[in-house]
Amino acid sequence: MERKDILNALKKLKENSPKRNFKQSIDLIIAMKGLDLKKPEHQVDVFSEMHYPRGKKIKVCALVSNEIVSRTKEVFDNVVPESEFSKYQDKRVVKKLAREYDFFVAQSNIMPKVAGAFGRYLGPKGKMPNPKAGCVVTPDTNFKALYEKLQKMIRISVKVAPFFQCLVGKDDMPDEQVAENILTIYNSLVHALPSEENNVKSTYLKMTMSPCVRISKGAPEGETKKGKAKIGNVKIKKIKEKIEETKEE
């Protein structure tokens, strides 16, 4: 994928979308081929740090021991001290917490307690504190730097269907910044695929209220009816429904 092709697609995407009275999100959609997702080696689960924030605040919750509560409260959006884990035995409370926050950070020496209290609900949503994203911390961790890093972090997970979609920016961001984010995500995914670019079928961009536009060499092409973009013979909506069906409530 070339930067100029992304910029062409972004230009056409904006031309095809009337101005709205709110900031529209820009999503990158990647369809894959030649994968047998029953094989672990064909599955993808990696974290990628973009160059620029997506234009959306990423909310982070810290699960830590009492000794670092005051320091973490200065940085993170919410802090649950170890002494209050028992309050989260009610599944409705834990589910609400899981919905409200994008990332969870946990102190390494209390991870067994974190898993016991929150794992059943954070795990299926892919939100358990993950060392790959730097989310398993020690008292010496630079919490402010971690928080800023997570504002630009994306988890790329391809395990259920050969399809990935994520927010890469807002329509008021400079196209060059959005393009840089797209290249970062695309390259991270490609390098994690068994046959790299040979496993990529097609790539699209879509704004909240716009048709899809295909990123292709030369002039952008492939826009379809609003909300009904097709990847091969499978509608994006149907693929997303299939993914949701596999998640635990």
Q: What is the per-residue pLDDT for 217? A: 62
DSSP 216: -
Check whether residue 114 and residue 176 sit in a common domain.
Answer: no
Host domain of residue 161:
3-55+153-245
pLDDT at position 229 over 70: no
Check whether residue 170 and residue 238 sit in a common domain.
Answer: yes
**Which amino acid, residue 155?**
R
Check whether residue 129 and residue 77 sit in a common domain.
Answer: yes
Check whether residue 136 and residue 72 sit in a common domain.
Answer: yes
Angle 67-69-71 from CA coordinates, rounded to 5°: 100
Phi, psi (5° rounding) for residue 209? -120, 30
CATH number, domain with residue 176: 3.30.190.20
Q: What is the per-residue pLDDT for 219? A: 44
What would the pLDDT profile of 9-40 be if each residue is shown by its tens digit?
Answer: 999 998 888 788 888 999 999 999 999 999 99
pLDDT at position 243 over 90: no
Confidence class for position 91, pLDDT limits 50, 70, 90: confident
What would the pLDDT profile of 117-153 be if each residue is shown by its tens digit?
Answer: 999 999 989 999 999 999 999 999 999 999 999 999 9
DSSP string, 64-96: E-GGGHHHHHTTSSEEEEGGGGGGGGSHHHHHH
What would the pLDDT profile of 195-208 be if each residue is shown by its tens digit?
Answer: 999 999 999 999 98
171 within 8 A of 207, measured Cβ to Cβ: yes
Check whether residue 138 and residue 162 sit in a common domain.
Answer: no
What would the pLDDT profile of 152-179 be if each residue is shown by its tens digit?
Answer: 999 999 999 999 999 999 999 999 999 9
Check whether residue 28 and residue 83 sit in a common domain.
Answer: no
Q: What does each C-alpha distance from 103 to 7, 61, 99, 129, 136 come to in angstroms?
A: 30, 6, 10, 7, 11
User: Looking at 113, 130, 150, which one is the last position of a domain?
Assistant: 150
CA 227 to chain centre: 20
Q: Which of 39, 56, 86 is nearest to 195 (CA)?
A: 39
